[in-house]
Structure 1
Amino acid sequence: MKSVAVLTTIIALAAGHGIVTTPPARTVGDAFKAACGEQPFNNQKGDPYGNQQQLEQNAASQKDFNATSCQFFMCKGYQLADNTANVQKFTAGQTIEMKVDIRAPHTGDCNVSVIDLGTNTVIGTPMIEFQNYASTSTGVAKNNTDFQITMPDVAGQCGEAGKCAVQWWWDSREADQTYMSCIDFTMA
């Protein structure tokens, strides 16, 4: 039994790529499991670093997967209901420290934006953008994993939890994989 647990851990670490660690980003829980199914839940519980495309591929064949309630293209399908204790309170102009853990680099583009969770659209423009992000040829630059963003004034749209999120979005065309993390917040 121990060898199965060790093997599962090794596979999860090998598959892992990147997530936001600060501020606290959404994680999986019972609401994700109910919305997305048992297999995606187990996959993300074991390896939250994985990519959106793998989630979609693995979930598509599962009988308990519901694409209407589980939208992997928005916050990887992670649900606010599992993360109410992590909702941040930001103010317009506030500087936010961001930390990202990248376990396996893939050259791509990255941005951090405020998204409208009702429409899955970016509000305004990205707060920060990177080209040549997590480069496989030059290595992961320090500013790819430790940087700051300045919050725009989105109080009118983001006054209550579940309306908006700060989304870290990393797309690697080199690997044909997309990674994302969402930080729920309110702004008064």
Structure 2
Amino acid sequence: MRSQLLTFAFATLSAGHGIVTNPTSRSAGNAMKAVCGQQVTNNLQSNEYGDIQQLSQIGSSQPDFNATTCEVSLCKGLQFDDNSANVQTFTPGQVVPITVDIQAKHTGTCNVSVVDTATNTMIRNELIYFPVYASTSTELPKNNTQFDITMPDVSSQCGTAGACVVQWWWDSRESDQTYMSCVDFTM
């Protein structure tokens, strides 16, 4: 009975909350396993919707996890080498439709930005910002799950695949959880 309760508790803890489903965002594979370890990779392969705090917590108890090489604050630790077949090509001024699947709401803020993967820093300003996102006190507005971004001219920084991502970042202080997805692109 105890093992059933533990299994249920873990399944409840790992229930997902949100990801970008279009354009295709990064997913876990062997390159992630090499830098983040087996358990963190398994967790993301079984539940890509989870938060980065959970990944850090799971990883910290594993001997093959290294927080320096598995930077969960950058694309959940998901690696470009596992996703090189999904690189988008964007042009300056291109309007890009974004689709997000939210499985559970947690009031927070959200932004979508172009991020330099070498430094994990935002390039220019946010492309879109939601001061209140996925609020638990209202119905989920359609613009939280379907919206457009307009790509700035970042061709000088993002001409090489893997150098930049479009990052969706949803941070809920209500639940102390942060969700993200990264879309690899070149310009």
Q: TM range, normalised to the smaller chain? A: over 0.9
Matched, 1:145 2:112: no
Aligned to 2:58: 58
Structure 1 counterpart SS, 2:130:
strand
8 A contact 1:112–1:166 mirrored in 2: yes
Pairwise CA RMSD: 1.6
TM superposition shift of 1:11: 2.6
Q: Distance in 2 between matches of 1:69 and 1:110?
A: 26
Structure-1 separation of matches of 2:42 and 2:59: 11
Between the aligned partners of 2:14 and 2:49, the Cα distance in structure 1 is: 10
Per-residue deviation, residues 56-85 of structure 1 (Å, max 9, x unmatched): 001001000011211000000000000000
Q: Which runs of 5+ in 1 are unaligned?
A: none
User: Normalising by structure 2, what TM-score?
Assistant: 0.93
TM-score, length-scaled by structure 1: 0.93
Matched position secondary structure for 1:15: coil
Count residues in correspondence. Answer: 181
d(CA) in 1 for partners of 2:12, 2:45: 10
How many percent identity over aligned positions?
Answer: 60
Query: Secondary structure of the residue that 2:137 maps to in structure 1?
Result: coil
Q: Which segments of 5 or more consecutive residues in structure 2 lack a partner in the other structure?
A: none
Question: Does the C-alpha gap of structure 1 residues 22 and 158 become closer, same or farther in structure 2, counting only changes over 3 Å?
Answer: same
For 1:175, the equivalent position in structure 2 comes to 175
SS at match of 1:72: coil
Find the aligned partners of 1:61 and 1:94 in 2 and give their Cα distance: 43
Structure 1 segment 158-169 matched on structure 2, within 5 A: 158-169=158-169
- Tell me if 1:73 matches 2:86: no
Deviations 1:20-67 (A, max 9, x none): 000000000000111100110111111000000000001001000011
